[in-house]
Structure 1
Amino acid sequence: MKLLIKYAAVVSSITISQAYANEFYYGVAEHLFRRDYTYSEQAILKSKEICASVMRIDAPWEDVEKKKGIYHIPKKWDDVINKMVSVGIKPLLIIDYGNSLYGNGKPVTEEYTKAYAAYAYYLARHFKGRVNLYEIWNEWDTTTGGMPKGNVADYQKLVKMTYPRIKSVDKKITVITGSFSPAALDVAVGESKRNFLADYMSPEMASYTDAIAIHPYVAYRKKPYNEYSKY
């Protein structure tokens, strides 16, 4: 696994493995594809002003595939990506969330999972040469996105189906997985026995992952675990 990615509030930082010690990305997270373009452009320029080199944004599946097997990227998406690239910011696209064409919850059936992977492939192909960072889902273990909590086994299946489709477009693309909620770290502070990260990061999954994302938000925790230094 090449990278360990940490998202804290809006600011994103990446702790790089020894092999990638010269790479460090400082970035911000936003939801630009569902904003008007004027707002998005200002957000991109402000991010550049504070020296952000990456912007992490959602790429909502339902906005692109509104009929099974038929995809259409909104023009605004291309405008946003092109603006980022023009000012030297790397786009990081979160492939989320579900699509009601295939079910009401997370992609756990074979058809739903294949459809998600097909969407990921379409995104990677459409933005080839402009987007080289993709994240498979966001906080699978929670209800983020208005869906029931997911389990590790189903997420592993989703990753194993999706990762090869993205990499088939361009092997240089970095595919980020994990991205569990702060609750995934509860075991570290004795607040839970579940350990999403340990369960997910099996030797097998190393072949389907270029980077691991974690969300170590601590503001809501009780003292002394409300400080990043405790982790």
Structure 2
Amino acid sequence: MLTGVCFHPDRMSISATETLDLLKKYQFYSYRTDFRWREIEKKKGVYKIPYEKLQVIVDGSLKARITPIIILGSANPLYGDSKPVTEEQRIAFTHYVSWVVDQYPHTPIIYEIYNEWWNDDFKNNPESNDAISAKNYSELIKEASQTIRMHNPNAIIIAGSLNPLSARHRNWFYYMIKDGVLNNIDGVSIHPYSKHSPDKDFSVIDLFEKYLTRMNSGKKVSIFITEMGYSNSIRGLLPPVVQESYTHQYFRLASERSYIKGLWWYSLTDEKSVNPYVSNFGLLDINGKEKDIAKGYLKWSKIDK
């Protein structure tokens, strides 16, 4: 199982070099971060890595054989305020995708097509709209995956970023499966956030995997847990000792399942955010000090620091 972390370089207090050093220190062989469309294409047809810190981290990690998950996503105001759902928007999106993929040719990078596409759709629309949301996302995945394959056959493509613990999420993804999405990706990404015990959550994830296999004509489907974590804010609710225990259990249970190809913990450090809940998911605090969550990971990994 590939073990990694998530982070937003622009929201962390530490430098690119410090970030790379922490990945090596804690033996994370992967990480997940955004290449946001709206930041890369600020003028139509002109593409640029948005800030040097991101470039340094990706270049440095590839030299160190640390595999990135690059999230291809976000709306772009140059093409309207919505996610890419029209033909014009999807064409522009695939141009951006091809440019990003061309920066790292022949490299076995993992590309995740969009992050939590469902989020705004679920907030702003009733469940009766979920089939439309799924159809729009499936179409984008189909076109983006074709572009990625054309520009880098060695790339691994994942999509979904749903929470399989939620019935609404599972039903939404059902529409995507019926639309053939499993033919266009190498695995399904999930974000099974929960405050329940890990063994309880994995019993549901196991059922979800069996469901995917059944829907895929008996062929096993790889699952990538591209986000999971615990916040130590007041809203996080779980006491520190429980977070340590749950984190240890979570990594152990994930590593015991062959269908889980990787676990990317959210997040490496606490990050700058106006939302205290979101900003307190780090394994380390904003200054790099280990939190109880990190202790749980270290107990599982048995890293000799």
TM-score range, shorter chain: 0.7 to 0.9
Distance 1:166 1:54 in 2: 20
- Aligned counterpart, 2:120: 143
Distance 1:178 1:155 in 2: 9
Distance 1:88 1:42 in 2: 17
Distance 1:171 1:64 in 2: 23
Which one has the bigger strand percentage?
1
Distance 1:210 1:193 in 2: 20
AA of the residue aligned to 2:145: Y
Once the two structures are TM-superposed, the CA of residue 194 in structure 1 deviates from its matched residue by 6.2
* 2:46 is the counterpart of 1:46: no
Once the two structures are TM-superposed, the CA of residue 95 in structure 1 deviates from its matched residue by 0.7
Match of 1:178 among 160, 166, 172: 160
Give the alignment's Cα RMSD to 1 decimal. 2.7
* Secondary structure of residue in 2 paired with 1:154: helix
Unaligned runs of 5+ in 1: 1-23
- Aligned counterpart, 2:248: none
Unaligned runs of 5+ in 2: 205-305
* Secondary structure of residue in 1 paired with 2:6: strand
Output the TM-score relative to the length of structure 1. 0.75
Once the two structures are TM-superposed, the CA of residue 48 in structure 1 deviates from its matched residue by 1.7
Q: Deviations over 1:169-226 (max 9, x none)?
A: 121111111112x2x5321xxxx4961222222372222111110111112xxx6899
* 2:79 is the counterpart of 1:134: no
- Aligned counterpart, 2:183: 207
Match of 1:228 among 192, 201, 211: 201
Distance 1:104 1:148 in 2: 15
Once the two structures are TM-superposed, the CA of residue 140 in structure 1 deviates from its matched residue by 0.5
Which one has the bigger helix percentage?
2
AA of the residue aligned to 2:47: Y
- Aligned counterpart, 1:91: 68
Aligned identity (percent) is 27
* Secondary structure of residue in 1 paired with 2:166: helix
Output the TM-score relative to the length of structure 2. 0.58
Q: How many residues align?
A: 196
Match of 2:137 among 122, 130, 155: 155
Relative distance call for 1:37 and 1:124 in structure 2 (3 A) is farther
* Secondary structure of residue in 1 paired with 2:116: coil
Relative distance call for 1:193 and 1:134 in structure 2 (3 A) is closer
Distance 1:104 1:62 in 2: 11
Looking at CA atoms only, which structure, 1 or 2, has the larger radius of gyration? Answer: 2
AA of the residue aligned to 2:83: K
- Aligned counterpart, 1:66: 42
